[in-house]
Amino acid sequence: MNDAVRLVEVGARDGLQNEARTLAPAVRAELIGRLVEAGLRHIEAGAFVSPRWVPQMADTDQVLARLPKRADVTYSVLVPNERGVTAALAAGASEVAVFTAASEAFNQRNINCSIAESLARFEPVLQQAKAQSVPVRGYVSCVLGCPYQGHVPVEQVVRTASALARLGCHEISLGDTIGAGVPSAVRELLAACATALPLERLAVHFHDTRGMAVANCLAALEQGVRVFDSSVSGLGGCPYSPGATGNVASEELVYLFEGLGLNTGVDLDRLVAAGAFVDGHLGRATQSRVARAHHANNAANTTINSEST
């Protein structure tokens, strides 16, 4: 087994865009800086989308301008169209990401077009990015179920992911948007995708709606996947998926993978501290069980140490 895995930290984009409170660019930039200090090297920094529809992602250009420039860190931003990629490239993003769904119903509700129309929109986006040697990541939502149409055929996921690869996306993230998946379904999905695409080009993105996200990540790992999207403190959800909770917590994946002897490159103490920082600004409690245990252990140790002095 390859002893290294890569976490794509999505908390500062996919996480924050689904939180009720909007954070200032300076706070979002500080969060990302803390995540870099924790050892994360692939971070979603924001999105160039309409602030009318996603106010939490307004001023992403200001966030990028505040970030530490490091050759070993990828700052990715989500873009929906040509206007978005033009703004992203001007702001200095080191990767752009495009998004579609394996469900026609979800695509219509989410971005008001069919799957085929969304793919057509991406062609000029990839052309612009390629002209500036900026890689493009692709997202496929609803790979294990849709809130509107229910079951999503595996074959449709494979077709959509393959289309993104043909367009030029260097990596395709498969998203369980509503958190409906179980390990057996994950294994079936990845086995099907592996017939069309190298597993090295695939990542997985699980929501923890039914408490299956960590188990699903382990199933994906056993299938050969080595890239996992995760969100500090379990930030996030999905406004188009009623009842969907946050992304799998980065803390939980670091704990899992390091416990298996795999190298994440992430310092768990610093990651937990970054989660506490953003939770404080959002006025929320962490959704990460690992972080809660970490805080409890630290509090217990503080009590023991104070009693022994």
Amino acid 66: pLDDT? 98
Rg (CA), the chain: 19
Q: Which residues of 137-176 are buried (b: 16+ CB within 10 A; e: fewer)?
A: bbbbbbbbbbbbeeebebebbbebbebbbebbbebbbbbb
| Exposure string for 24-41, b = 16+ CB within 10 A, e = fewer | ebebbbbbbebbbebebb
Where residue 190 sits, what CATH number does that domain have? 3.20.20.70
Mean of pLDDT over the chain: 94
pLDDT of residue 238: 66
Tell me the residue range of the domain where 31 lies: 6-308
**Cα 213 from Cα 269, distance rounded (Å):** 22
What is the total count of domains within the chain?
1
pLDDT tens digits, 188-231: 999 999 999 999 999 999 999 999 999 999 999 999 999 999 99
Alpha-carbon torsion (226, 241, 112, 151), positive or negative: positive
Question: What dihedral angle (degrees, nearest 10) is formed by the CA atoms of 302, 266, 214, 17?
Answer: 90
In a domain, 79, yes or no: yes
Nearest to 203 by CA among 247, 245, 147: 247
What is the C-alpha separation between 63 and 68, in angstroms, rounded? 10
Q: Please give the average per-residue pLDDT across 161-176, as a whole number.
A: 98
Looking at the domain assignment, is residue 1 inside a domain? no
Cβ count near 66 (within 10 Å): 14
Task: Answer whether 35's CB lies under 8 Å from 70's CB.
Answer: no
Whole-Å CA distances, 217 to 47, 183, 208, 220, 298: 25, 8, 11, 5, 27
Q: Which of these, 118, 46, 55, lies nearest to 81 by C-alpha position?
A: 118
What is residue 299's predicted lDDT score, i.e. its pLDDT?
72
* 238 part of the active site: yes
Lowest mean pLDDT among 58-62, 105-109, 114-118, 304-308: 304-308
pLDDT digits (tens, 9 = 90+) for 171-193: 999 999 999 999 999 999 999 99
Report if residue 245 sits inside a domain.
yes
pTM: 0.94
Does residue 161 belong to any structural domain of this protein? Answer: yes
Residue 249 lies in a domain: yes
